[in-house]
Structure 1
């Protein structure tokens, strides 16, 4: 608990910007040799991030060096090395979250070698494995792609956004997955609901829709389901939405965790919260303002809690495919530039992505919650 108190005190001492209609310019804090996916933090200010699994990195999870240009495998080399006879290694990682207790939770999608998806908690205070939660069928499907998640210690659950675009997936089976911290029980909810399904809206970057092979010699517009996900400070509301989609949704945790509700009854309690562009990462500050990464532009937007009207909040020239966004104790939110839209898959076989891969930071409108 003392770590939580410290983090809140530090945040309270930092000055945050007044509202402005002019987007601020994000600043570069790291230049790295490999694409960065999501970013999180520890209570002693260590920066932990995933190398984006899209590019099949050798080191799945890393810790940023003090020079902002180097990294070390996190938590060690062994956990980043696939081995026969065990699943105690990271296979395919994008989502990760640090909490106030110094645990870094890492979501292994298991897609590269067909492992059962799992959540791995690493205790950074004691440098040891805290716990593993497995996410087997039917909570996971063959086409699952468990992207990002919320750590809710108040209710004792993780809630995961499954994009539904794993091997053979087209987003039509996107859903939310709940993992009980006490029992390890898993539950798949809201599959097929409008709030998790991708809309028929293309992701357009530099005037060109992103397409993938359709299996018949042609190409199809890529559609990604439930992606960004965040919870308010009091864990009353869960916010989420599909990457391809014009709306952000929310549902009360009391309803989401009520197992007596049918899928239809739960779906009826989901609210359409605000308009949005196609977005990947999602974060929230202590005032309830939401931050969304605009994957089609080099920007991060905001949905203010008072107006619920989306607007652009921060920009940077080389913020190509902003992905994960999360809050650090220095009072900034950090966001990666993953360069996914520059990959060969989306550019007629020509790879346009190149190092350095950047991490930016910007001042949010209010303090956030460490690692989220």
Structure 2
């Protein structure tokens, strides 16, 4: 494999005002260290987080901004102390790129909650260098956050598992979803369509919850038992043990969603709106011992569990491949809600 260049090349936004106009430019990756891995990127999924970051909708965007954290490619270089990977391995990278490895969270398979966590893009390392995402030719990541892709899985479609997949798999596992569990998934999109497939594979009775019936046919193909729209919410009170909310909507009937939970049920947020959550009367949760929680991606241990489930049940993200050189058009299609259900950018040789 060719030597890794000193400067990487990617497509990124120069400002919030022109965030859908992704221009190609070179950037300096973080300093290469002994536990680092350089990956030559073949594919990168487009996540909702990419759009929120590029547009500055979540605030704190570091421009110029190269996003992308559903990355699949080949290992091009490994640091002196890397032991789990070899040059040429096909690997995946998700939303996180580095953690300290020494805190109590890292030591308890909760590295995604490390107080010094560095995400794959839009973060700054302690030496002042930046983390840059996967709309690029290469990415540099700590070994702890690089995952071998099983040979049975198609590299072209597996990328969304490492962010969208892991983000919904973690709360399912942490809430002990198993045969007989009653699970609701709010939002049938990039995250939701994987949450449905995982829940079905785990043996749950799954309800898809959507603002309209437009995606009902797809949801039934994914294995849902019930399809719930906003106008039928009252008919399903106290019918669910767990709800995973993947929606980024600024306006959602959160109080009505909580009423879907049976006594002791939990609603877990994994989508992050660009606004505060609606206010809630405390009696709404006290009356049914309901819990409202959040969840941040997942651990390496959970990645391996997820990939095992994917292999056993032949779970596949529903993706459409697009050339990486058309990433500007792709993010605009994503913004318009046209994805069914994930766009994946393919390195089409524009970096060669």
- TM-score, normalization by structure 1: 0.28
Higher Cα radius of gyration:
2
Query: Which one has a larger percent strand, Structure 1 or Structure 2?
Result: 1
Query: Which one has a larger percent helix, Structure 1 or Structure 2?
Result: 2
- TM-score, normalization by structure 2: 0.29
